[in-house]
Amino acid sequence: MKLTLSSLPHTWILDVDGTIVKHNGYKIDGYDTLLAGVKEFFASLPSQDRVILLTARKAEYLPALKEFLTKNQIRYDHIITDVPMGERILVNDNKPSGLCMSFAISKERNSPLCIPFTINLHI
């Protein structure tokens, strides 16, 4: 599925474990490992976009996670810890023009991060 996005700034909300790093790698291996495609995906995001990361990790693991992300040049604006392990539900309203204002993507755990998108300057 390829997303067609407007030229407006976007907000990307991504889970950490199993989405951008190996699930529970920090526990199993003692360190995090980036998944394939993560650096390329983050490099493709427009500079005006915002990135919010969600994780079920406890806040005590936040300093190590931030250090890892910085070392690997993974940009983010906010990280929310202690998120419940259940489903994450995104709810947003559409613009009066009809522009869809929310998308949800579920990916296979630990698979490469690949979210193809294009920016349509006419929407």
What is the residue whose two structure tokens read 């983050």? 42
Phi, psi of 21 (to 5 degrees): -130, 160
Tell me the per-residue pLDDT of 83-108, one tens digit each, with 9 for 90 and over.
999 999 999 999 999 888 899 999 99
Tell me the per-residue pLDDT of 6-42, one tens digit each, with 9 for 90 and over.
999 999 999 999 999 999 999 999 999 999 999 999 9
At 121, is the pLDDT very low, low, confident or very high (cuts 50, 70, 90)? confident
What does the buried/exposed string (b/e) look like for 5-36 if buried means 16 or more CB atoms within 10 Å of the residue's CB?
bbeeebebebbbbbbbbbeebbeeeeebebbe
C-alpha gyration radius of the chain: 15
Q: How far apart (Å, rounded) are the C-alpha atoms in residues 51 and 62?
A: 16
- Residue-level pLDDT at 3: 87
Query: pTM here?
Result: 0.91
Q: Specify the CATH class of 3-119 in words.
A: alpha beta
At 116, is the pLDDT very low, low, confident or very high (cuts 50, 70, 90)? confident
- Residue-level pLDDT at 2: 87
What is the residue whose two structure tokens read 């419940």? 84
Per-domain boundaries in the chain: 3-119
